[in-house]
Amino acid sequence: MAKTASKTTPASAAPQRQGERPRLMLMDGHSLAYRAFFALPAENFSTTTGQPTNAIYGFASMLANTLRDEAPTHFAVAFDVSRKTWRSEEFAEYKANRSKTPDEFRGQVELIGELLDAMHVRRYAVDGFEADDVIATLAAQAEAEGFQVSIVTGDRDCFQLVTENVTVLYPTKGVSELTRFTPEKVQEKYGLSPAQYPDFAALRGDPSDNLPGIPGVGEKTAAKWINQFGSFAGLVERVEEVKGKAGQNLREHLESVKLNRRLTEMVRDVELPDRPEDLARVPYDRPTLGVILDTLEFRNQNFRERLFAVDPGAAEEEEAAAGDGVEVDGAILRGGELAPWLERHGDAALGVATVDVWKLGSGSVSEVALAAADGPAAWFDPTQLGEEDEKRFAAWLADGTKRKAMHDAKAVMRVFAEHGWSVEGVWSDTALAAYLDKPGRRSFALDALSVEYLGRELGPAADADGQLALGVDETAEADALMAKARTVLDLGTAFEERLEQVGAAGLLRELELPTSALLARMERAGIAADRAWLTRMEQQFADAVQQAVSEAHAAVGHEFNLGSPKQLQEVLFGELGLPRTKKTKTGYTTDADALAWLATQTDHELPVLMLRYREQQKLRTTVEGLIKTIAPDGRIHTTYNQTVAATGRLSSTDPNLQNIPVRTDEGRAIRHAFQVGEGYESLLTADYSQIELRVMAHLSEDEGLIEAFTSGEDLHTTVASQVFGVAKSEVDAEMRRKIKAMSYGLAYGLSAFGLSQQLGITPDEARKLMDTFFERFGGVRDYLQHVVEEARATGYTHTIMGRRRYLPDLNSDNRQRREMAERMALNAPIQGTAADIVKVAMLKVDAALRAERLASRMLLQVHDEIVLEVAPGERAAVEELVRREMASAVDLRAPLDVSVGAGQNWEEAAH
């Protein structure tokens, strides 16, 4: 009998021990979140939905570190409510010089509040007062009650609170380094005691708070006066003794300095609902916190571990786990023991877990664990199986009547195939099931799912993905892997009920699991690649990059680093004096849109050269990545992801085949390197024509749009003639371009502003174009309005096959988040339905190839296109099959139209 305790991390925030002074930590939430907002680049911290997360990540990271280092027994966070406080009432210009709080920051403060609530942290925001006043009140109360207090803030005015029992931790480098201010440190820094600090600050003034200083009086003079006269009050009494121009200026500005002194003093008697003793730290709501971190797409495991490590309930979790961890009645099986074990338990549903390696078209399994629904579990090393064991195991795997639960079944199937084992009968993939339940999450790690859905953690010998940690013995390894198998089985059972509730059980069973099995075979097959061709292209792009660099240097008359935004800004807006673009915290933006705009505003060639440089550099990087991923078999084996896009679309990595441009000469040249493999005759490509628009016509039931599809004429020309009220023969290229952009834009939730940017027209013109379209196609307008209203009422959108996308921000008070959710509500049913149709088509084509016993096979799926490798003599049969099966994937009011092409490489097979 092996009992595997749940995995825990030690709680560094130790509880208060008898006789030990309680430790209260107070944090200025606004101050620190604002610092994090500007310290971390927003472009590196945002969700796939566009929600910025840099302030949240920086704040939470510093929170984890300070909780670890300070180990407080009590904790609270204070926030500002607004700029209207008692200080602004007394001095209307208080902080009036500050720019408007960015919307990108304001929305993050709300999410920081949700994160703190999940951590069960008390947070304060008191009308009429600043966070500093709340902190000063709690610090004063806590010191009087015998607490040791630490204050984490970016506001130097808090130095006045420093005593032998109160320490200020002040960020001195972003949010990563804190300086500890004790009375000695304040004295060393300013030559003053903490009690004298507000006197000093009043004389110095504070530009950040719009508090005026005294002309000609800096920090040194202010500190000298306070030391000379003992205090600000003493200085005022003897103000006539201050000589010279500085003294004259002091006397002339004395009233404003007195006001500064009143405003600088912190309030220490704010009425609060709690006393310091009420702020004892309590255990997190770990499942809710995990969901929040997933929603924010914080994937960094080290970050998550640091945050959970300071959970006050971690010790209790560990103790509870030791008492009632995952019970595993397990056995380590040796040669000859697996076959009889399967004979006894193989008819029950089994959870399967493995330790394996997969890399570039090859792989092996080193450990397997099975857990049966009727109780027992088993672990074995596949290399130690006897002949009968392996035969029985292979037969059990291939038997579709034997129910199997796996986590990331595609990866298991792919590597099992390297041992000659095929897998049928997978009734649950816990990663796919979690994705269908909550498609917006970004972490599908087994341990996170176990905590959220089962309320328990994986064993201590396993890491976040359930793989085994280094340095543990075989018994511990076996126990951990059997616990993983048991968890997979239990999760599979839990998800059965859950997916029935959300209407996704059929999607898992009939669409996602079969697609997973097909993708595993496609990944193993890969596609042949011409290394020599790619190497030549890499050199070609490298030469083009160098040419662009040389021409850019010549254009400005000196060398500079084209890859440095700072240097580029200096050249564009400083030396050349070009029109300034959108202001960012690091200067003026030089992104692609900005450079394209600059190219229209000036005759200088640098913006155009920069666009060419970046384009060629990106292509070079793409080709370099492709070369690195050519496996020893001469083929590229991409990895498909089913759980990344919330709409249900597939994505690919290592390499990302969706990165290759489709509509440029360079992109087509790259596709030339993907070739038909040995033993096959050609590549065949097939995709749907205008699938998103056909789906939109179907969902909206707009008769005019459906007629435009069924007329057999060019869709965009037909629609343009109706929108602009001209004969089809009079529709020019510009009219067609505008209609095409708008039609696809509607399918992607594009706003009038977005359309204006795309077409290079004013927002008013774009809005009029959309209004004219909706007048002609009222069904589309009504559908788009209805889908948002329905989603706001239900909380989600759905495809015609029932795939849901949850959009809680549709009812958000934050305008930016609400509008983003509205665009997703417009986009998700159309994009999601198109994604579902493509998967159905792939499965139908694959099934037909097998049924007709054809040797041709599917290799790739990119966007809405599938690529097949055609066996000799099967070209006509495969094309007919592909057209038939793809066209009949679903029955739409605007029938599906399939385009097919063939050739010796991917580029030649284009259509």
Token pair 């027994």: residue: 73
Closest CA to 115 of 285, 273, 279, 282: 285
pLDDT at 411: 93
Q: What is the pLDDT of residue 303?
A: 85
762 vs 651: CA distance, rounded Å: 34
Does the structure show a pLDDT above 90 at 374?
no
AA identity, residue 657:
L
CA angle, 841 then 716 then 704, to 5°: 85
What ranges in 243-285 are assigned the alpha helix state H? 244-252, 254-264
What is the spatial distance between Cα 755 and Cα 74, in angstroms, rounded to a whole number? 52
Above pLDDT 90, what percent of the chain?
50
pLDDT band at 757 (very low <50, low <70, confident <90, very high): confident
Confidence class for position 469, pLDDT limits 50, 70, 90: very low
β-bridge pairing 682-688 and 898-903? antiparallel
Average pLDDT rounded to a whole number, residues 606-628: 93
Quote the pLDDT of residue 52. Answer: 84
Say yes or no to pLDDT of 202 above 80.
no
| Mean pLDDT within 22-46 | 86
Distance CA 829, CA 696 (A): 9
Highest-pLDDT range among 233-242, 397-406, 715-724, 755-764? 397-406
User: Greater confidence, 266 or 568?
Assistant: 568
370 has which bridge partners?
A: 352, 378
Three-state helix/strand/coil letters over 499-556 = HHHCCCHHHHHHHHHHHHHHHHHHHHHCEEECHHHHHHHHHHHHHHHHHHHHHHHHHH
Reading the block at residue 410, the tokens are: 């595609």
Note the pLDDT of residue 3.
34
Tens of pLDDT, residue by residue over 493-543, are: 999 999 999 999 999 999 999 999 999 999 999 999 999 999 999 999 999
Q: Beta-carbon neighbour count of residue 668 at 10 Å? A: 16
To the nearest whole percent, how much of the chain has pLDDT over 70?
85
Query: Which of the four pLDDT bands, split at 50, 70 and 90, describes residue 616?
Result: very high
Task: Tell me the mean pLDDT in the region 681-696.
Answer: 94
Q: Which long-range contacts (CB under 8 A, 24 or more apart) does 564-570 make?
A: 565/590, 568/610
Instruction: Give the pLDDT band (50/70/90) at residue 7.
Output: very low
pLDDT at residue 145 in the model:
93
Residue 243 contacts by C-beta under 8 Å, 6 or more apart in sequence?
Answer: none
pLDDT at 322 over 50: no
CB 195 within 8 A of CB 160: yes
Domains and CATH numbers, the chain: 23-192+267-279 (3.40.50.1010), 326-526 (3.30.420.10), 528-636 (1.20.1060.10), 692-830 (1.10.150.20)
- Residue 1 above 70 pLDDT? no
pLDDT at 442: 67
Residue 321's pLDDT band, with cuts at 50, 70 and 90, is very low
Is residue 93 helix, strand or coil?
A: coil
pLDDT at 888: 96
Do 883 and 694 touch, CB atoms closer than 8 A? Answer: no
Confidence of residue 252 (pLDDT cuts 50, 70, 90): low
pLDDT tens across 256-286, in order? Answer: 667 667 677 788 888 898 899 999 999 998 8
- Whether the CA torsion 229, 231, 232, 236 is positive or negative: it is negative
**Radius of gyration of the chain, Cα coordinates, nearest whole angstrom:** 33
In the numeric block, the tokens 């290079």 are attached to 760
* Residues 836, 840, 841: CA angle, nearest 5 degrees: 115
- How many Cβ atoms are within 10 Å of 160's Cβ, its own excluded? 23
Residue 407: pLDDT band (50, 70, 90) is: very high
**Cβ atoms of 267 and 103 closer than 8 Å:** no
The H or E element spanning position 170 is strand 166-173
CA angle 61, 62, 65 (to 5 degrees): 90
- Contact by Cβ (8 Å): 622, 659: yes
Residue 260 has a pLDDT of 65
454 within 8 A of 491, measured Cβ to Cβ: yes
Q: Which of 27, 236, 218, 221 is nearest to 116 (CA)?
A: 27
The answer to whether residue 89 scores a pLDDT higher than 70 is: no
pLDDT in tens, 47-57: 766 678 889 99
pLDDT single digits (tens) 292-309: 887 787 877 778 888 988
Structure tokens at 154: 């970016």
Mean pLDDT of the region 900-904: 97
pLDDT at 195: 80
